[in-house]
Amino acid sequence: MRSVQANDRILIQYRLLDAAGTVLEDSRQTPVEITIGEGSLPYIVESTLLGRKLKEHICIEITASDEAFGAFDQAKIQRLPSSQFEGFGAVEPGMLLEFSLPDGEGVAGCVTEVAESEITVDFNHPLIGRDCIYEMDLVGFVNSTREQMAKDPAT
């Protein structure tokens, strides 16, 4: 049976839970396509997927000390003029907002403080410094070639 290798495009279903068991993300209804090595998941998660086989269930515990989501960076906390938030409606601390960068890419930021003239946004990854658990199922390989299919129909 085929196993996951670097640069494979795979379909996974996963749940991301915090240390208390609260579900933070859940893709069990709609599988997510990722390319191993592209960095769409933390390195520790992608490297754990290497060598895994179809239908395999994987549980990955990540501790804050793993820095799987990066290291906290004080420079990523920004005070922005309130006028930049007019399209967002009522802005409150704890809200996760999507911002557009000049190159068109999106970046998420968590509102930490709201004042009359400015709003403080933390652009650090929201899971930095937190323990969490990935529960994953490998549900498919994307674009298997005819040659691979002939060798192993389970792809």
Query: Hey, what domains does the chain have and what are their CATH numbers?
Result: 9-64+130-151 (3.10.50.40), 74-122 (2.40.10.330)
Examine the pLDDT at 61 and tell me if it is beyond 90. Answer: yes
C-alpha to C-alpha distances, 20 to 17, 60, 133, nearest whole angstrom: 8, 15, 10
Q: What is the DSSP letter of 3?
A: B
Q: pTM for the whole thing?
A: 0.72
pLDDT in tens, 126-154: 899 899 999 999 999 997 544 444 445 45
Radius of gyration of the chain (CA): 19
